[in-house]
Amino acid sequence: MAWETVQRSSHQQGGWLRFVRIFLGAFLGALALGGLFILLVDPYDVVPFSLPIERPLVEGNQRLAYPRLIKSKRFDSIIIGSSTARSLDPEALNGPFGTRFANLAIAGGRAGEQIAMVDYYLRTAGAPKVVIVNLDFFWCDPDADRKGFWHTDFPYWIYDDNRWNDYAHLFNTNTLEIAGRIVGANLGLHRSQYRADGFALFTPPDAQYDLEHARKQIRGAPADGLPSITASGDGGSGMKFPALDLLAPVLARIPSSSRKILLFLPMHAAIQGRPGTLQGAIVAACKARVVSLATAHGAQVIDWLIESPVTTDDSNYWDPMHFRVGVARQVERGLIDAVVGSTDAADGTYRLLVR
């Protein structure tokens, strides 16, 4: 009886050992196949022996997606900025400028991230024909350095010149999912979130526009409150703008053969900062500093961030910062007139600060 018990126990232990071996083998095999799949598909275009396939922009993280768009070298000009510049359509600008634009604006992109994008383009693709930088309130914040020039999840590793550190960030479920989406997109089973030039409307379809909701968003903003700006107590005199200190050396690195355009896009008048207020003084001082930088580095400055028929009309906006698609098309036409024709807006919607 005791011998039979020992045999039964030994048999059970042998069964468990076989199960563990099979499980571990399957688990390690799945890891190996998943790793090989990631290396072959190479979602971030960093592996030298990956498959020669298209890698459309299928992920939601623009910070990870745009470097491979730059690496493709299909685009000789770039649009840089945050969500307010997302609505600018490269296809509307390509013909008049004689370029192939990519829209590399990042939703919520801070100054350091935008600078990293320009710097990466310069190192990877060379001098652009045209570079457009949208300067929003991140750039005009006197406390930008304290608040941080980068989001905490910014993928520094993909923007440096060290290929080896890229591999440490490849083997995870997020990368595996993106690889699967890329394969699905190549097979026609998954739709890319962006056009090949990086453009995508991030605002809802105009058919869903609700003016009353937009007005609540606009009127809900502080009367003199500028998004992301903390008012310091110096009344705007001697104001320092740490983010603009990052912009100066990048403008210096862009050769004179490139056309450099700095934009203030049209946010609603309710959040621009009224004259006579501290916020108004901050914006005026910021614009003066931008004019100085542009003059020193051969850039043009176009200013839509003024009280105008566009910025005082609630029906042009989803919220105080984001304008509707019709305004985006108007801005594109104005940009062409301002740069190609070097003219101010006849209707007062923009002005050329540096021609």
Residue 206: inside a domain: yes
The CATH number for 236's domain is 3.40.50.1110
Residue 89: inside a domain: yes
Q: What phi and psi values does residue 66 have, to the nearest 5 degrees?
A: -65, -30
Beta-strand ranges (E) seen in the chain are: 77-80, 101-103, 130-134, 259-264, 299-303, 351-354
Residue 95: inside a domain: yes
d(CA 145, CA 22): 54
pTM for this entry: 0.89
Residue 36: inside a domain: no
Task: Give the residues of the chain that fall short of pLDDT 70.
Answer: 1-14, 221-238
Write out the H or E segment, with its range, that includes residue 94: helix 90-97
- Residue 338 burial (C-beta neighbours within 10 Å; 0-12, 13-18, 19+): buried
Question: Which residues are bridge partners to 300 per DSSP?
Answer: 261
Residue 252: inside a domain: yes
Instruction: Name the residue with tokens 């590399």.
Output: 104
How many angstroms separate the Cα of 223 from the Cα of each of 26, 153, 322?
62, 32, 17
Q: What pLDDT is stored for residue 336 in this prediction?
A: 94
* Domains: count for the chain: 1
Domain range enclosing 120 = 62-166+190-354
Q: What integer best gives the mean pLDDT of the chain?
A: 89
Residue 23: inside a domain: no
CA 332, distance to chain mean position in Å, is 19
How many angstroms separate the Cα of 331 from the Cα of each of 84, 120, 304?
12, 27, 8
Residue 179: inside a domain: no
Q: What pLDDT is stored for residue 224 in this prediction?
A: 47
Instruction: Name the residue with tokens 């896009």.
Output: 265
Q: What pLDDT is stored for residue 192 in this prediction?
A: 86
Residue 177: inside a domain: no
Q: What pLDDT is stored for residue 184 in this prediction?
A: 94
Beta sheet of 299-303, edge-to-edge order = 101-103, 77-80, 130-134, 259-264, 299-303, 351-354
Question: Do the Cβ atoms of 142 and 232 come closer than 8 Å?
Answer: yes
Structure tokens at 249: 């050396």
Q: What pLDDT is stored for residue 11 in this prediction?
A: 57
Q: What pLDDT is stored for residue 8 in this prediction?
A: 54
